[in-house]
Amino acid sequence: MPVITNIADLQNLARRRVPRMFYQYADSGSWTEQTYRANEQDFARIRLNQKVAVNLETRSLASTMLGAPVSMPLAFSPVGMCGMQCADGEIKAARAANAFGVPFSLSTMSICSIEDLATETGKPFWFQLYVMRDQEFSDRLIERARAAKCSALIVTLDLQLLAQRHNDLKNDLTAPPRLTVKNLINLSTKWRWGMGMLGTRRHTFGNIVGHAKGVTNMNSLMEWTSDQFDLALDWEKVKAIKKKWGGKMILKGILNVEDARKAVETGADAIIVSNHGGRQLDGAVSSIEMLPQIVDAVGDKIEVLFDGGIRSGQSVLKAVALGAKGAFIGRPYLYALGAEGQRGVEKMLAFMHKELDVTMALMGHNDIQNVGRDDLIDPAKVLNPWMGPAA
């Protein structure tokens, strides 16, 4: 068994253990994957400002997100088909997040349902809503999230239609996988994954099958989802969702200043600066490139959160230094689930916490609340000029 010390190690192990279609579903972007790559690459260009001779005996990563305490400024992104990385994946990831004191977000396109998560974890979580043409179904999702005592609703705005992801087409992606010769050959080498799936009843989209009209099997599910994302979604509909929900609402998919200002007008409690992990508009700017501009424009009016390219505690620190109240992770916990299930997610969170803590300390800080833009150096000015002369 290899020694696992970071997220890259978990990713390598997941690549070996998870069926190809599901691993590549997680580890891919749309079209040329230019934006997917930029999300990580632009983080790497930002340098840290080392400071020394500071008393570091007592340190704190504690913060708040949406007014609730968190052990570090981190949350789990809503990810579709999380329960195909390993059996009952959403439940296992949520349990790890709960134990560590960070929020978990459940996707509309999850394998485990809203009710599954509420029953199996017994803790509040955030629910992510895709707005569908079927108004009755969307309204019912909101009601189900309220009944499950979800503490926030995340409305995703950047998926009114689905961008092409080449690997999903090549792999004939479905949940559960079709039993073709190609799939059977691949699945035969993933015995650990297969044994887990034999031990659960959750094999398809738990929030949809049995809840949407006429959706009872794989064929009817594929037909229903192919034409359901609401192309007519606009800011007025967003305001109506906020009114219907009545609780805390986060808008995900904000990538420019004008949209951020419009988001404030809806009465939302927070926005997530995000390009959907490079899985939608290929060629869009990286999330970290736009974060400073958006923070400067609306940061005193709404809580600004961040998503896209986080692969380490250092990435979290950079996002916080640029003004994000917290950062979301998606692929890191998918890799962790695929590698070692709940134990893998627990390891991943420990890696992130330790790296964030040590990095903060070596930059001369003992409290994450004190980190700011003067703690970063970008001498090449490869991103937007968010700071003055290099220190």
* Averaged pLDDT for residues 118-140: 95
Burial class for 381, CB neighbours closer than 10 Å (0-12, 13-18, 19+): exposed
Smallest Cα–Cα separation from 341: which of 74, 16, 72, 96? 96
Interval 144-162: pLDDT, tens = 999 999 999 999 999 999 8
Stated pTM of the model: 0.94
Return d(Cα 200, Cα 313) in angstroms, integer. Answer: 33
**Contact in structure between 21 and 171 (CB atoms under 8 Å):** yes
Domains of the chain: 7-377 (3.20.20.70)
Instruction: Give how far Cα 214 sits from Cα of 208, 222, 231, Å.
Output: 10, 11, 21
Which pLDDT score, from 0 to 100, does residue 178 have?
87
Q: The tokens of 214 are what?
A: 């006429």
* Averaged pLDDT for residues 153-179: 91
Predicted confidence band of residue 290 (pLDDT cuts 50, 70, 90): very high
* Beta strands at 63-65 and 68-70: parallel, antiparallel or unpaired: antiparallel
Average pLDDT, the chain: 93
**Contact in structure between 113 and 127 (CB atoms under 8 Å):** no
Strands, E assignment, 274-369:
303-307, 327-329
* Averaged pLDDT for residues 222-240: 89
* Beta strands at 376-377 and 47-48: parallel, antiparallel or unpaired: antiparallel
Q: Does the annotation count 276 as an active-site position?
A: yes
Return d(Cα 106, Cα 112) in angstroms, integer. Answer: 9
- pLDDT value at 36 more than 90: yes
Catalytic residue among 166, 276, 353, 365: 276
Q: The tokens of 138 are what?
A: 């969307």
Burial class for 200, CB neighbours closer than 10 Å (0-12, 13-18, 19+): middle
Q: What percentage of residues in the chain have a pLDDT greater than 90?
A: 86
Residue whose structure tokens are 């620190």: 317
